[in-house]
Amino acid sequence: MQLFFANFLKPAPAAKEPRRLVVSCENQAYEIVLQRHPRARRYTLRVREAQRDVVLTMPPRGNLRDARNFAERNVNWISTRLKQIPEPVPFAAGAGIPLRGILHRIEHRPRARGTAWPELSADGVSLLCVAGQSAHIARRVRDFLKREAKQDLLAATRRHAQTLGVAIERVGLRDTASRWGSCSYDGALNYSWRLIMAPSFVLDYLAAHEVAHRRELNHSARFWRVVDELTTERRRAEAWLKAHGNSLHRYGAKTI
């Protein structure tokens, strides 16, 4: 009788593809986020101002060597674009932040009661006053902005929904970098709370846009006709968002 021993070895797991690479320019290192896209036909680079980073998109059959070569050939462009991103503005005493499109200076009132509130100074300066300890300023400013955003967005959403005669399931707030609002099939609407920092006509347009999706869940010509029934500010608001929308993400952002 013979005995045989078969050593069934499991194949080694495939190495995980790195999600980032680093390139350098003038002694400065830049970390680049890698992503594949099924419909990409070439390598592309884009700077995300909200995240203050760079994304390199690869085609499905692209490889890391070509991705690195592409990034290194364009490292001067990467460096220039990142330097052009405005510096973050923290929610801290003395900082200027917009509220409904009007710049307000954060003023710390440590002995005052309450949390945060807008006020006009004797010399006509718009203030956002914050009570309590300095360690709580950032949180209280953010909470205040979210409360104001929910109030304004609820009012605008309900007004437009009543005009169209459509139902809204719920309204929520998020802090997304890719979109200002969304509408689901079941009538749930979500907005970026940062819209409270934009002029009021921009917030109102975004509310009209999302409510219009309750009639047309697409971006067809019919959809845009519905939007234009609700607001005359579409083109003005879109132009403002294109020019200034990304800058709203710098407020309250952490420094690199």
pLDDT of 1 reads 37
Q: In terms of DSSP bridges, do strands 181-183 and 44-48 run parallel, antiparallel, or are they unpaired?
A: unpaired
**Percentage of residues in the chain having pLDDT higher than 70:** 93
* Alpha carbons 165 and 229: distance in angstroms, whole number: 13
Are 210 and 191 in contact by the 8 Å Cβ rule? The answer is: yes
pLDDT of 4 reads 43
Closest Cα partner for 117 from 133, 128, 107, 108? Answer: 128
Question: Domains in the chain, please, with CATH?
Answer: 20-84 (no CATH), 96-250 (3.30.2010.10)
Residues of the chain predicted below pLDDT 50: 1-8, 12, 255-256
Task: Give pLDDT tens digits for 135-178.
Answer: 999 999 999 999 999 999 999 999 999 999 999 999 999 998 88
Give the CA angle between residues 207, 199, 94 to the nearest 5°.
Answer: 130
Question: How much is the pTM?
Answer: 0.80
Dig out the tokens for 166 from the structure. 């459509």
pLDDT of 10 reads 55
The answer for residues whose C-beta is within 8 angstroms of residue 126's C-beta and 6 or more apart is 99, 102, 103, 104, 105, 118, 119, 120
